[in-house]
Amino acid sequence: MHRERWLRLIGGVVVLGSVLLAHFHSPRWLILTALVGLNLLQSAFTDWCPMVWVLQKAGVPGCRAEESGQSG
């Protein structure tokens, strides 16, 4: 899997996990859901996401278009 797919997977797991924890443990876990949402919003405008940096450092390959310098 390439970086973009890992990013989507991690985001989905964190959101679903925090919703489940909010339901079964404490509503305060919804703060984590809000933080993920805020990060998605800011990354849409800045094209920067901390998890992408983590995945790059972990050696997860980018998509083919990204590696070849092409866009879209």
Q: For 32-69, what is each residue's pLDDT tens digit?
A: 999 999 999 999 999 999 999 999 999 999 887 555 55
Is 57 among the domain residues? Answer: yes
pLDDT at 19: 97
Q: State the sign of the Cα–Cα–Cα–Cα dihedral 36, 42, 45, 51.
A: negative
Judge if pTM exceeds 0.75: yes
Is 12 among the domain residues? Answer: yes
- Class of residue 14 by CB neighbours under 10 A (exposed 0-12, middle 13-18, buried 19+): middle
pLDDT at 63: 81
Buried b (16+ CB within 10 A) or exposed e, 21-41: bbeeeeeebeebbeebeebee
Q: How many independent structural domains does the chain possess?
A: 1
Tell me the backbone φ, ψ of residue 67, rounded to 5 degrees: -70, -35
Q: For 18-30, what is each residue's pLDDT tens digit?
A: 999 999 999 999 9
Domain span at residue 47 reads 3-67
Q: Does residue 72 carry a pLDDT above 70?
A: no
Is 72 among the domain residues? Answer: no
